[in-house]
A and B are shown apart, each in its own frame.
Chain A
Amino acid sequence: MINMKKILIYIFLSLAAISFLYPFYWMIVASLSPESEIGGLTFLPTEFTLDSYIQMFSKIPLGRALVNSIFVATLTTGGVIVFSSMVGYALSLMEFKGRNIIFYIIIFTMTLPFQITLIPNYITMVKLNLVDTYAALVLPFLLNSFAILLFRQAFIGMPKSLIDAARMDGCSDIRILYQVLFPNIIPTVVIVGILTFMNSWNEVLWALIVIRDENLMTMPQMVTLFSVGGRAESQLGVKLASAVLLALPIMLAYSFFQKYFIQSMASSGLKE
């Protein structure tokens, strides 16, 4: 009786796992199949071909978009880690007038829906002549309320003696922050890094708004426009091939750092 129940649970969980994995499997296999076979494909392809990939690369400069995506996501992630940790440090370990006000502003900013700032931010980009620049993709994301709060939390948890000792040795605040404290909060840095990189990598609405020049497009934007616009010429294979290449980098990173991905995302849900 108990075993029966257990088996049912395993069946349920396995069906769920298949429903999450199979579509990705199908997508990869379909992108490697001849165009005419995709309509009938269920499990195994009849023949492998790189045709869809070759055609796709002849239609769009996806390699260039990959470089753009890596550049933008890396720059954003680096910026968020540097700037947010500085603010988090000031809010937790420095005394100054207005500290609480800034803290409340950060909390307030987190609850503000992005719909309200979307259009004005676009106009700011137009007025600053930043449309069609990398800066437009990076600047608005360089500071992040949630990252600041995570760093603040991490610094509050640091032993006071460690900071006092460093002060005695004549360390400046910058050195305390980056040389003394940073090595002790690596988990927080990893969480902020993964979340920021992933969000930046997957951001597409903002890119669609501020980038029109194909040479500056990030991967998700280019794949989106390729899929929506006429250039895929309603060929499934090439669309799927571009989608596979868009998914691949994050999937690879996920397969190595799976635990950290899950931890980071779980902590991002625990905002309250």
Chain B
Amino acid sequence: MKKNKWLPYLFVAPYLIHFVVFVAFPVCFSLFLTFHKWNIISPVEFVGTTNYSRMFNDRMFWKAILNTLKFLVIHIPLQLIFALALAEFLNRKIKLQGFYRAAFFLPVIVSGVVVTILWQQLLAFDSGIINRLLVNIGFGKVGWLVDPDIAMGSIAVMATWKNVGLYVILFLVGLQTVPPSYYEAAEIEGASHWQKFRHITLPLINPTIFMVVILSTIGGFSLFIEPYIMTGGGPLNSTLSSVLYIYKQAFQYYHMGYSATLGFFFALLILSVIIIQKKYIETND
């Protein structure tokens, strides 16, 4: 049989070229940039570890990390609770199951731009439908997007609304892998609904929980278009996210070296947070 020795390499060549140009080179170049100052137009200037020391002394940088943590602390529990509850209810013998699933999933497929513009109106201080509802039932208006203490929370709730449908589906897949015989055995022992959920369901869907936590974490660190459209990072930088800060450093001030340093550091941070979560969740059950 004749075999072309080079054919397999021809097949993977597009990937290898793509990998070198868009992954390997940028990662190396990114490391290079962290030791340099550059605005693309003038020559590259070596600055040693200035970018790093600047980053650790940059209050905006710490603010962006704090904001991301704030987002995650609200977003992850909300996401887990609502997705699990909806999936658990959908997993029973329910009429219209397909309709409910399709409805929950709608925000997932729609562009974040649409969701953000929509929620900006719903949360508007004067004309927003949520504040109008609050006023009608006798409460005061809430500054959802204008109060620095609340704005990031509002964005976290909106992000939950957008993504929860995906996690409902993932949990549904997870729930269906639990063998019914486990529940039957527990019922014979007289276990309550809650006990069955706590001691059978939860441990068995642990991998799904882990995945939801990780995907939400990555989502939190990737947050960009929501604050970009809704608040521009304000009020008082309370919704300045990591990626928005990279974007501003790079494309408002043309600090390529510094923004690459931020990107490099955030990437490391994401990876370490995920490793910690993995350790924690895996030893927890």
Interface residues of A (CB under 8 A from B): 9-10, 12-13, 16-17, 19-21, 23-24, 26-27, 30, 38-39, 41-42, 83-84, 86-87, 89-91, 94-96, 99, 102, 105-106, 109, 111-124, 126, 139-140, 142-143, 148, 173, 198, 201-202, 204-205, 208-209, 220, 223-224, 227-228, 236, 239-240, 242-244, 246-247, 250-251, 254, 258, 261-262, 265-266, 269-272
Contacts and interface: CB of A to CB of B under 8 A. Distances in A.
B260 A30 contact: no
A87 B13 CA distance: 8
Interface stretch (B27-35, B48-56, B70-78, B195-203): B27-35
A115 B119 CA distance: 26
A172 to B, nearest CB: 9
Contact of B14 (A17, A86, A262, A265): A86
Interface in B201-241: 207, 211, 215, 218, 221-222, 224-225, 228-229, 232
A121 B22 CA distance: 6
Nearest to B9: A96
Nearest to A5: B193
Contacts of B243: 115, 118, 205
26 contacts: A16-B86, A38-B127, A90-B8, A112-B267, A115-B270, A116-B27, A117-B22, A117-B30, A118-B246, A119-B263, A120-B26, A124-B25, A143-B19, A198-B109, A204-B225, A205-B225, A223-B113, A223-B117, A224-B225, A227-B229, A251-B110, A262-B105, A262-B169, A265-B105, A269-B211, A272-B211
Nearest to A14: B100
Contacts of B101: 262
Contact of A246 (B94, B104, B113, B165): B113
A246 B256 CA distance: 32
B154 interface: no
Contact of B170 (A19, A20, A27, A269): A269
B129 interface: yes
Contact of A102 (B16, B26, B119): B16
A27 B232 contact: no
B11 interface: yes
Residue among B11, B29, B82 with max Cβ neighbours from chain A (10 Å): B11
B166 A269 contact: yes
Interface of B: 5, 7-9, 11-12, 14-16, 18-19, 21-23, 25-27, 29-30, 33, 40, 82, 85-86, 89-90, 92, 94, 99-114, 117-122, 126-127, 129, 132, 161, 165-167, 169-170, 173, 207, 211, 215, 218, 221-222, 224-225, 228-229, 232, 242-243, 246-247, 250-251, 256, 259-260, 262-264, 266-267, 270-271
